[in-house]
Structure 1
Amino acid sequence: MSVKSHLPFWTLWMIITLSGCQQYDEHTENPPTQPQPPQEIIACTPDLKSCPDGTQVERNPNLNCAFNPCDGSTPEELTMCTMDVKECPDGSYVNREPKNNCAFADCPNTPN
């Protein structure tokens, strides 16, 4: 057999072989996916703390498993209020207060 008779076979073999060997270009829209490490899950012990008023609070994973406060409030660093403001009659503005269940602060010179 001559080399010419095997030329279509070798050409087809080269196309198939090389088509699977494309190098990744960082500018392509679909980069190869990398397995992501699992996110750490914090599990606290299920014990409860008795508060002076008779209620009980549980441990909070967002506080490194410290107990929630006894007064029933959420610690300020965990309370996120929207960033909107309220315009007061005198033209000033007040924000929402995390310690007041995200209610707007009282306007100045306004009776409670």
Structure 2
Amino acid sequence: MGPEQQKYDAEFREGAVRIVIETGKPIPEVAEDLGVHPGTLHSWVSRWRRNGSASSDRPAPAESGGRLREGERAEPERLRREMSEKNKRIRELEMERDVFKRCIALWVK
């Protein structure tokens, strides 16, 4: 039988990737510090660079001379869609509130 595969939670993986991205340390060095196989950490970093990180509090530094990567371009679009959906829901709730106000006004009369 081969060695058991270690399971890492999403928070740990994201933290490890952020260390590599934000500090610029080499992947093997960070992997050794964290006790993770370098190949595993490399795959996490590659996936992050391909897809971007949705839960990152601050954007990673642009590595291409100030140009935004695909994941960084997708984030503002996702936020715009989310804001649009929330604004639509707010308008719906305001309309419901107005209807209830009118009903109460008629009932009181």
Q: TM above 0.5, one fold?
A: no
TM-score of the pair, normalised by structure 2: 0.23
Find the structure with the greater CA-based Rg: 1
TM-score of the pair, normalised by structure 1: 0.23
Greater percentage in strand: 1
Greater percentage in helix: 2
Q: Which has the higher contact order (CA 8 A, sep 6+)?
A: 2
